[in-house]
Structure 1
C-alpha cells in the first residue's frame, strides 16, 4: 500500500481566529461573568415564556430553594407581581438548567 502525504495551505482572513473548542467554551462562559440577565434574556436564550418558567421552575418549592439568592442561588426573585425586578446570575442559572432541565421537562 502506498502512502501519500499532502500539505494544505489555508488563508485565514485577518478578522478571523482559530481557537481550541475548550478555549471557545471558556470564552463563552466568561462573557457572562459579572453580568445579570433579565427576564427577556432568559426567555430569549431558553425559548420559553416567563409564565412557563414560573409554572415549571421558579414557583416549585424544590427549585426555588436551590435558585433563590436568599439561599445563595442564582435568581433574585421579584417582589413585583409582573416580575419586572427578576435578575439571574447567568453562569449559575445555566448550570442549574443543565443539571435539572431533563427532570423539569419530564415533570
Structure 2
C-alpha cells in the first residue's frame, strides 16, 4: 500500500491571522516579483552564495569569459555594473544574478 487516505469531512482547521493559503503558482510569482528591479551589492551576493570575496572575484567576476556574459558594458543581457575605478562599487540586478548562479552552478564550480 502506497497511499494513506484520511477522511477530514467534519474537521475544521483554523489558521492564525498571520497565515494564508495561496496557490503554488501565485507564491512562485510573488517570490520572483520580490527581486524584480532590485539591486544587490557585492556583500549581498557574497552572502547569497556563501563564498569569500577573493573567490568570487577570481572565479567569477574577473574571468573574461564570464565577464563578457554579465557586464552591462559588454552585453545588452548583462546584469552587473562593474566599478569605474578601484574601490568602486559593484551593482547586481537581483533577479538576473540569482538566475545566473542557478543556471551556471556547475560551470562556475567545476573549475
1:1-107 alignment to 2 at 5 Å?
5-7=7-9, 8-70=11-73, 71-72=75-76, 73-82=78-87, 84-107=88-111
- How far, CA to CA, are the matches of 1:52 and 1:21 in structure 2? 36
Q: CA deviation at 1:81?
A: 2.3
Tell me: CA distance 1:4–1:64, structure 2 relative to 1, closer, same or farther (3 Å).
closer
What TM-score results when the alignment is normalised by the length of structure 2? 0.83
CA contact (8 A) 2:41 2:92 kept: yes
* 3-state SS of paired residue (1:93): helix
Tell me the number of residue pairs that the alignment of Structure 1 and Structure 2 aligns: 104
Tell me: CA distance 1:4–1:45, structure 2 relative to 1, closer, same or farther (3 Å).
closer
Structure with the larger helix share? 1
Q: Deviations over 1:67-103 (max 9, x none)?
A: 0011120000112323x41000011111111111111
- How far, CA to CA, are the matches of 2:93 and 2:6 in structure 1? 53
Structure 1 residue runs of 4+, over 2 Å off?
3-8, 79-82
- For structure 2, the residue ranges without an aligned partner over 5 or more in a row are none
What TM-score results when the alignment is normalised by the length of structure 1? 0.86
